[in-house]
Amino acid sequence: KNQVEQSPQSLIILEGKNCTLQCNYTVSPFSNLRWYKQDTGRGPVSLTIMTFSENTKSNGRYTATLDADTKQSSLHITASQLSDSASYICVAPNTGGFKTIFGAGTRLFVKA
């Protein structure tokens, strides 16, 4: 069964601290894995996209890693800011790249 599981479900951190969000996927065949940021009441915005041959990809303070052997991905946020408060969704398309499997998301709260 194609699934994407994320942890933790929610996370509270202080501004300036780092954090890491986890994503385990069982999607086959695997095409790529993406992390999206979704602000409350808004549509998701892409942060990173990684194919199975990529181990890490950065986008500013966001760094995603991918282990295709263990089927795990992580999103590391460095020096968090209040504006990082959002839901972070791990997404894995399967065959054809369009039948997308969404994780339930991690809700991150950054406090001053």
Partner 1 sequence: GAVVSQHPSRVICKSGTSVKIECRSLDFQATTMFWYRQFPKKSLMLMATSNEGSKATYEQGVEKDKFLINHASLTLSTLTVTSAHPEDSSFYICSAPTTGTDTQYFGPGTRLTVL
**Shortest distance, CB of residue 40 to partner 1, whole angstroms?**
10
Find the binder of partner 1 among 11, 15, 22, 49 (CB under 8 A): 49
If the CB atoms of residues 53 and 79 are measured against partner 1, the closer one turns out to be 53
What is the residue whose two structure tokens read 């994503």? 23
For 27, half-sphere exposure in the C-beta direction (CA atoms, 13 angstrom radius) is 30
- What's the rounded Cα separation, in Å, for the pair 45 and 36? 5
SS3 83: helix
**Shortest distance, CB of residue 97 to partner 1, whole angstroms?**
3
What is the residue whose two structure tokens read 């263990």? 70
Find the binder of partner 1 among 77, 92, 93, 110 (CB under 8 A): 93
The residue ranges that bind partner 1 (CB under 8 A) are: 31-32, 36, 41-46, 49, 89, 93, 96-100, 102-105, 107
